[in-house]
Chains A and B, each alone.
Chain A
Amino acid sequence: MSRLALEKLKERFPQAVLDTHDFRHDETAIVATESLKEICRFLRDDPELRFDMLTDATAVDYLLDPARTAPRFEVVYHLYSTSKRRRLRLKVQVGTPEAGRAERAGSGANPSEGDRAGEPEVDSLCELWPIANWLEREIWDMYGLRFRGHPELRRILLYEEFVGHPLRKDYPKDKRQPLVRRPEPEIAEVLARRGRARSLGDGTSPAEKR
């Protein structure tokens, strides 16, 4: 990947770069959330680095990591320079540590239901790379992290009526929120008679009602 990029970053933004590592030769820098946009602009425009492609952006939820003291979420950006053939991973950590510890202890409101305190914010990179528009919408959809300055932060993979953010660790995998009221009465009866009525786990199945 790119040791040069890490060195230049540490030189130019000594306070903002919190940590670096290169596990399996993937150079990674954890940076302060406030300086993210400035750092990305530098990485994109610096003539020696020229990271012109935002290959990927995603988030990770470390709720279930017992030893972790850092904030709960990490937003991970992968950058690539098509001319220099170099890669870099940038990470920012969001979600207040107190909230993270409270969630791990099981106390406090359940942030999966989308209350404001549980929606940490990061600066949007839409100005720098157009693809950030959709990538950030997906992070919002799946993790509930807001992006300041995003023109249109709405769900992309799921439907608007969906409540919660499914890739968070406290969202149960098979908690369905069906859009179609079901089952239809005739189908429900037939399914029940054939012994095929399945429980949807949300108390609406006719098999449970009987």
Chain B
Amino acid sequence: MEITPHAEGELPIEPSVINMGPSHPAMHGNIHIKLTLDGERVRDAEVNIGYLHRGFEKECEAHCWQQIFPYTDRLNYVSPMLNNVGWALAVEKLLGVTAPERAQYLRVIVGEIARICDHLTYLAAQVMEMGAFTPYFYLMKGRDWLWDMLEEISGARLTHSYVRIGGVAWDLPEGVKEKTLEILPKVEGILDEVDHLMTRNRIFLDRMEGIAVISGEEAVGYSWTGPCLRASGVDYDVRKAAPYLVYDRMDFEIPICSTGDNLARYLVRLEEVRQSRRIIEQALAQLPAGPVLLDDRRVTLPPKAATYNTIEDMIAHFKLVVDGICPPKGEVYSYTEAGNGELGFYIVSDGTGRPVKVRCRPPCFMGMAALSRLIKGHLIADIIPTFDTINMIGGECDR
């Protein structure tokens, strides 16, 4: 360890190296940061990820296209619906099909509910790890209400696997539309309470404002996307830049902040929840009647009655389950706006029922790549809020 003189007439300083993680309460799962400290100040940081590497890509190569949905649920596990939607869109792009209109609206609705859940969870973790416990309980209450809605729609609180290639699994149950419209104002009320408690709080501002600033150009160099990039002033949201599903019919805004510090990333996500609520309400109002699954035997399973009674549908069912959907040979890159940014799926098909390659382009991996640059020069206490604002989700970052 080199001993460097601090300044003229002062004692020489030996930097200390300590480990933060991998098992650490604020490390959102397991991240290992090797800190070289000069007192409380971080001189250098080496970020080691990969403690939750679960072999997503290798598993996908061994499964059929439609069997991959549960694996995508567990990528960004705070907003599983958004990953499901992203995967379905990728395979549909490869196949060259489009889901029916009602299914597209339903995908937007459940996707935006998932986005709200993602941001609520981010908020809960952010404030709790800075020592404010109260908003955590309020936000968990709100998230549980939303999970009740998702449970009514899909059957599961967390790992839904609701979306299918060619549409969604089934239609909305009765009463869900009204209940969702009732719950959304209550969730926004909770958000207002948390906003009221935190955003102008002296301690919160001291810990967030002006910390870990990154400029727009640098963020683009690190391939940042999503709320973190928009907090640095770059106007890029896949829903507006390259609209997919029915986002071009929705009236909503993209919050952008120019300062690029922790507070900016927090404010952008806060405002995105309100915009997501607008989208859900519009989508529920515009929801058209119609089927929720494409009627194409190369892609979707036939209804059960038909499978049991007609030979063609039974064969179609058999082929789809045993061989899997067989898309044409080729490669596509399909991207959607997930909770953390541009979630991309690059898939290569050789014409069989199993993919040759499935690559998930994880938005928070890019965030983590910049983490060491963000925390250098700051105090240890600044690491936690900075790490929280990147919203690293282990399942997505390490896959």
Contact = CB atoms under 8 A, between A and B. Distances in A.
A62 interface: yes
A156 B346 contact: no
B223 A129 contact: yes
A24 B347 CA distance: 12
B234 A82 contact: yes
A115 B357 CA distance: 24
A133 B369 contact: yes
A157 B57 CA distance: 12
A134 B365 contact: yes
B348 A60 contact: yes
A51 B365 CA distance: 20
Nearest to B348: A60
A56 interface: yes
B289 interface: no
B55 interface: yes
B43 interface: no
Contact of B369 (A58, A130, A158): A130
A55 B342 contact: yes
Contacts of A78: 333, 344, 346, 361
A202 interface: no
Contact of B346 (A53, A56, A129, A157): A56
B398 A157 contact: yes
A158 B57 contact: no
B381 interface: no
Interface residues of A, number: 35
Nearest to B328: A23
Contacts of B369: 130-131, 133-134
B331 A23 contact: yes
B58 interface: yes
Contact of B57 (A24, A53, A56, A167): A167
A198 B341 CA distance: 41
Given A85-B241, A85-B242, A130-B221, A23 B332 contact: yes
A121 interface: no
B221 A129 contact: yes
A113 interface: no
Interface in A128-167: 129-131, 133-134, 142, 155-159, 166-167
A142 B57 contact: yes
A131 B363 CA distance: 12
Interface string B174-201: 0000000000000000000000000000
A134 B53 CA distance: 15
B236 interface: yes
A157 B51 CA distance: 7
Given A85-B242, A130-B218, 12 more contacts: A23-B330, A24-B330, A52-B220, A52-B221, A55-B225, A56-B346, A85-B241, A129-B223, A131-B223, A134-B366, A134-B368, A157-B50
**Closest 7 A-B residue pairs measured CB to CB?**
A157-B50, A157-B53, A131-B223, A56-B361, A134-B369, A58-B359, A23-B330
10 contacts: A26-B331, A26-B332, A52-B220, A53-B223, A55-B223, A85-B242, A131-B222, A133-B369, A156-B50, A157-B50
